[in-house]
């Protein structure tokens, strides 16, 4: 990112602030300005590739809970910039603006974010689930979603009707082992199974 | 007496006639289990005759929730999961992941470790492109090439097995180092492999490059323009086939790539044939890099010796010294300790640019790990690329894009 880019950006969009980063230049942008800022970066500073678009869930209680992060790359200067924005709307239905009109490649990334976090991208031409199937009731990358999964209906209604089967949480057989870090004694720090599953020997946790 | 005969007005008859068949579009579902979809991709196509009018790829059949899994385990525990992203080139994934986390820890690995990583990543590139070439051949009806390339891959697997103990899922990198140093005489065997590999590569590519049937199926088919390739975030040989010379090994060198000389091949038209040629040339360049790595192979330690809270101490020290034992225990139980912050690192993998976005709140477990999978982005252009193509062209297009669903679906 050219040295003057950040100041030029902040002169044009006064609400843009610096974002802490360990590597590439990064900015925080209010949701209303995202599309304009990305457009400006693409056309004025030759960030011609949207290499990645993703979201972070800061867990229940954080306000706002979701951040959408864009990584842009310049194929002429070979550098990156990270643009982050906080989602508007409620925790159950967060909103962010769509950038499909700037980069058609954002289409699948935004569908993935919607699928995994439930973020609604306003202006997206075809916001469907992409990795999970249509009609799946949960958003798996939200922090409250357990690793083992949650019981859910089968994707195919006909088969569900016929077999009376549902998708059950995966039996995790003790794993994965997750340790607690911090000022605790070694006995307590020993890795523990973060097991949220159930099987024939063990009752389903509520 | 002459009778008047009225000639039928054919033009009016035709204009007023109802067509016997309503021209209707057919929908065809290809996959998820189809030999040309290289795994479990499904294409929902709408056909007018034999021409596609719409194409909707359905992905996610191989979704395992790798990003969710990463949030629930320590950084080192996730290494085996990176094998299963692009499972054709696990060594390259291992390396990209390790460098991403090392960037977070602000850790430099010694030159020997970097050289071994470059060497393994280039061998993985050979392995991946050999499969891509062979499978592309099969897709368009040339069986023989597959036999040649798979024989070579078998030799590569022997080398991988000797190095890592596994043929397929190598899990070779660790944060701050490697699983182990290279075995005795291994470099000579890699060198011998390269010597015999190049003539065989020429031989197998000679079966395709000027092959009339192959050219008819690929030249001018599936043309991706420069602008489209960039707009859809295509990377790797698919982007370079369209004439954009972006290669992160050259443009943002990592792991010591700046010391090696190699060329970045680019295509001119961006069709299936160009992507094939780019992959072929990349293999020759990989061999060039491998030879340079072996020629100036550095000595010294093969892991970061100053990374006490990140890389496990040597086994004999763990068994004899109390301090190292505790260190190892803390490392296994709590994971390598990372500062809070976020990093994004991309590596030039065989399929394209593989990126890891790591968000840490400190401690041994990432808060969020996003995997930017090249195959996912490369496939997102299909709805645009396939419209107007024939059904048989779709097979050639899929073959030339050379994707892996394990990575696309994560």
> What is the structure's pLDDT at A153?
83
Of B332, B333, B357, the CB nearest to A54: B357
**A130:B59 CB<8 A:** yes
Measured between beta carbons, the chain A residues lying within 8 angstroms of B368 are 56-57
Largest Cα span, chain B: 129
Sheet of B42-48: strand order equals: B26-30, B42-48, B51-58
Using an 8 Å Cβ cutoff, are A88 and A143 in contact? no
Mean per-residue pLDDT for A174-181? Answer: 56
Q: Is the pLDDT of residue B172 over 70?
A: yes
- In B337-356, the residues whose Cβ lies within 8 Å of chain A are 337, 339, 341-346, 353, 355
- For residue A189, the chain B residue with the least C-alpha distance is B333
The CA distance from B65 to B410, in Å, is 6
Which of these three, A97, A112, A145, is where a domain ends? A145
Q: How far is CA A199 from the centre of its chain?
A: 31
Establish if B318 belongs to a structural domain: yes
Looking up residue B391, the CATH number of its domain turns out to be: 1.10.645.10
**A75:B246 CB<8 A:** yes
Instruction: Name the minimum distance, in Å, from the CA of A200 to any CA of chain B.
Output: 24
Of B59, B67, B353, the CB nearest to A141: B67
- In B136-175, the residues whose Cβ lies within 8 Å of chain A are none
pLDDT tens for B117-153 read: 999 999 999 999 999 999 998 888 888 899 999 999 9
Beta strands in A33-154 (DSSP E): 49-57, 66-73, 80-86, 88-89, 94-97, 120-122, 152-153
Choose the mutation target among B342, B365, B403 for the interface with A, i.e. most A CBs under 10 Å.
Answer: B342
Residue B293's pLDDT band (cuts 50, 70, 90): very high
Measured between beta carbons, the chain A residues lying within 8 angstroms of B238 are none
Measured between beta carbons, the chain B residues lying within 8 angstroms of A110 are none
Pair (A52, A17) in one structural domain: yes
Q: What is residue A31's DSSP assignment?
A: G
Pairwise pLDDT comparison (A206 vs B278), residue with the higher score: B278
Establish if B93 belongs to a structural domain: yes
Token pair in block for residue B99:
């460098």
Q: Is the pLDDT of residue B287 over 90?
A: yes
**A54:B334 CB<8 A:** no
The CA distance from B160 to B169, in Å, is 10
Using an 8 Å Cβ cutoff, are A88 and A61 in contact? no
The CA distance from A51 to A40, in Å, is 17
Instruction: Name the minimum distance, in Å, from the CA of A107 to any CA of chain B.
Output: 8
**B342:A21 CB<8 A:** yes
Burial of residue B189 (CB within 10 Å: 0-12, 13-18, 19+) is middle
> What is the structure's pLDDT at A191?
52
Quote the pTM value.
Answer: 0.86
**B73:A104 CB<8 A:** no
Burial of residue A185 (CB within 10 Å: 0-12, 13-18, 19+) is exposed
Helices (H) and strands (E) in chain A, counts: 5, 12
ipTM associated with this complex? 0.84
- In B319-338, the residues whose Cβ lies within 8 Å of chain A are 329-330, 332-335, 337
Measured between beta carbons, the chain B residues lying within 8 angstroms of A177 are 73, 77
Measured between beta carbons, the chain B residues lying within 8 angstroms of A75 are 230, 244, 246
Measured between beta carbons, the chain A residues lying within 8 angstroms of B242 are none
**A21:B363 CB<8 A:** no
Choose the mutation target among A108, A109, A124 for the interface with B, i.e. most B CBs under 10 Å.
Answer: A108
Which of these three, A104, A126, A145, is where a domain ends? A145
Establish if B163 belongs to a structural domain: yes
Instruction: Name the minimum distance, in Å, from the CA of B60 to any CA of chain A.
Output: 4
Establish if B363 belongs to a structural domain: yes
- For residue B248, the chain A residue with the least C-alpha distance is A78
Using an 8 Å Cβ cutoff, are A92 and A142 in contact? no
* Nearby residues of B157 by Cβ (< 8 Å), 6 or more positions away: B127, B167, B168
The CA distance from B18 to A25, in Å, is 66
Measured between beta carbons, the chain B residues lying within 8 angstroms of A50 are 233
The CA distance from B255 to B109, in Å, is 9
Share of chain A above pLDDT 70, in %: 82
Domain total of chain B = 1
Q: Is B278 helix (H, G, I), strand (E, B) or coil?
A: helix
Size of interface A-B (CB pairs under 8 A): 123
**A105:B246 CB<8 A:** no
Establish if B121 belongs to a structural domain: yes
Pair (A109, A160) in one structural domain: no
Measured between beta carbons, the chain B residues lying within 8 angstroms of A152 are none
Pair (A173, A71) in one structural domain: no
Choose the mutation target among A42, A72, A104 for the interface with B, i.e. most B CBs under 10 Å.
Answer: A104
pLDDT tens for B340-376 read: 899 999 999 999 999 999 998 877 888 899 999 999 9
Mean per-residue pLDDT for A127-137? Answer: 88
> What is the structure's pLDDT at A90?
85
Measured between beta carbons, the chain A residues lying within 8 angstroms of B358 are none
Choose the mutation target among B40, B380, B406 for the interface with A, i.e. most A CBs under 10 Å.
Answer: B380
Establish if B87 belongs to a structural domain: yes
The CA distance from B379 to B383, in Å, is 9
Pair (A151, A119) in one structural domain: no
Domain of residue A138 covers: 5-145
Residues in chain B: 410
Establish if B397 belongs to a structural domain: yes
Pair (A172, A195) in one structural domain: yes
Which of these three, A130, A145, A160, is where a domain ends? A145
> What is the structure's pLDDT at B311?
86
Pair (A139, A197) in one structural domain: no
Closest CA to B303 of B279, B265, B331: B331
- For residue B356, the chain A residue with the least C-alpha distance is A52
Q: Is the pLDDT of residue B317 over 70?
A: yes
**B230:A107 CB<8 A:** no
Establish if B369 belongs to a structural domain: yes
* Least confidently predicted of A24-28, A108-112, B250-254, B327-331: B327-331
Beta strands in B181-273 (DSSP E): none
Of B60, B231, B379, the CB nearest to A132: B60
- For residue A133, the chain B residue with the least C-alpha distance is B60
Domain total of chain A = 2
Q: Is the pLDDT of residue B168 over 90?
A: no
Of A80, A181, A190, the CB nearest to B344: A80
pLDDT tens for B55-109 read: 899 998 889 889 988 888 888 889 999 999 888 899 999 999 999 999 998 888 9
Of B65, B244, B355, the CB nearest to A75: B244
B141 torsion bin: left (phi>0), alpha (psi -120 to 50), beta (else): left
Pair (A154, A110) in one structural domain: no
- Rounded to 10 deg, the angle between the B111-139 and B391-401 helix axes is 170
Residue A197's pLDDT band (cuts 50, 70, 90): low
CA-to-CA dists, residue A179 to A34, A39, A48, B57, B174, angstroms: 38, 44, 42, 40, 19
Domain of residue B382 covers: 56-409
Q: Residue B60: how many CB atoms within 10 A of its CB?
A: 21
Q: Is the pLDDT of residue B304 over 60?
A: yes
Measured between beta carbons, the chain A residues lying within 8 angstroms of B342 are 21-22, 82
Rounded to 5°, the CA angle B367-B96-A24 comes to: 65
Looking up residue A64, the CATH number of its domain turns out to be: 3.30.460.80
**A179:B335 CB<8 A:** yes
């Amino acid at each position: 990112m050219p040295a003057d880019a950040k100041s030029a950006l902040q002169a044009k969009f006064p609400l843009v602030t610096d974002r802490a980063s360990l590597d590439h230049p990064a900015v925080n942008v209010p949701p209303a300005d995202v599309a304009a800022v990305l457009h400006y970066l693409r056309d004025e500073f030759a960030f011609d590739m949207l290499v990645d678009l993703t979201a972070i869930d800061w867990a229940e209680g954080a306000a706002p809970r979701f951040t959408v992060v864009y990584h842009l790359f310049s194929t002429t200067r070979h550098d990156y910039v990270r643009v982050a924005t906080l989602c508007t709307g409620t925790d159950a239905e967060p909103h962010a603006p769509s950038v499909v009109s700037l980069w058609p490649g954002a289409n699948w990334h935004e569908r993935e974010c919607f699928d995994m976090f439930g973020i609604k991208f306003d202006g997206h031409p075809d916001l469907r689930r992409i990795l999970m199937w249509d009609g799946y009731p949960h958003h798996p990358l939200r922090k409250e979603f357990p690793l083992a999964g949650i019981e859910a209906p089968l994707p195919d209604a006909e088969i569900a009707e016929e077999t009376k089967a549902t998708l059950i949480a995966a039996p995790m057989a003790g794993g994965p082992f997750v340790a607690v870090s911090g000022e605790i004694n070694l006995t307590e720090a020993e890795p523990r199974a973060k097991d949220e599953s159930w099987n024939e020997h063990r009752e389903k946790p509520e | 007496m002459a009778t008047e005969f009225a000639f039928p007005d054919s033009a009016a008859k035709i204009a007023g006639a109802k067509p016997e068949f309503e021209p209707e579009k057919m929908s065809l579902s290809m996959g998820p289990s189809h030999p040309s979809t290289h795994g479990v991709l499904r294409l929902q196509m709408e056909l007018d005759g034999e021409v596609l009018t719409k194409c909707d790829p359905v992905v996610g059949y191989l979704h395992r929730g790798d990003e969710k899994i990463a949030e629930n385990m320590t950084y080192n525990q996730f290494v085996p999961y990176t094998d299963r992203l692009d499972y054709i080139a696990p060594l390259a994934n291992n390396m990209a992941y390790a460098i991403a986390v090392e960037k977070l820890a602000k850790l430099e690995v010694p030159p020997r470790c970097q050289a071994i990583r470059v060497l393994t990543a280039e061998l993985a590139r050979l392995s991946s492109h050999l499969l891509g070439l062979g499978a592309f051949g099969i897709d368009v009806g040339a069986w023989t090439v597959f036999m040649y390339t798979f024989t070579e891959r078998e030799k590569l697997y022997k080398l991988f097995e000797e190095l890592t103990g596994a043929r397929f899922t190598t899990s070779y990198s660790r944060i701050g180092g490697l699983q182990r140093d290279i075995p005795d005489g291994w470099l000579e065997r890699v060198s011998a492999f390269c010597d015999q590999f190049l003539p065989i590569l020429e031989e197998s590519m000679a079966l395709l490059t000027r092959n009339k049937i192959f050219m008819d199926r690929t030249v001018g088919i599936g043309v991706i323009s420069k602008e489209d390739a960039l707009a859809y975030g295509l990377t790797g040989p698919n982007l370079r086939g369209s004439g954009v010379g972006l290669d992160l090994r050259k443009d943002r060198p990592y792991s010591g790539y700046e010391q090696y000389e190699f060329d970045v091949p680019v295509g001119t038209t961006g069709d299936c044939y160009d992507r094939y040629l780019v992959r072929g040339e990349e293999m020759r360049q990989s061999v060039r890099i491998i030879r340079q790595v072996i020629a100036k192979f550095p000595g010294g330690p093969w892991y970061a010796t100053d990374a006490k809270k990140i890389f496990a101490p040597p086994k004999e020290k763990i068994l004899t010294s109390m301090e190292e034992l505790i260190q190892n225990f803390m490392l296994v139980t709590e994971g390598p300790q990372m500062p809070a912050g976020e990093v994004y690192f991309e590596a030039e993998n065989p399929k394209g640019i593989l990126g890891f976005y790591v968000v840490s709140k400190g401690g041994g477990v990432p808060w969020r790990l996003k995997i930017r999978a090249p195959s996912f982005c490369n496939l997102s252009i299909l709805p645009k690329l396939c419209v107007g193509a024939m059904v048989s062209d779709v097979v050639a297009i899929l073959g030339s894009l050379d994707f892996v669903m394990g990575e696309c679906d994560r």
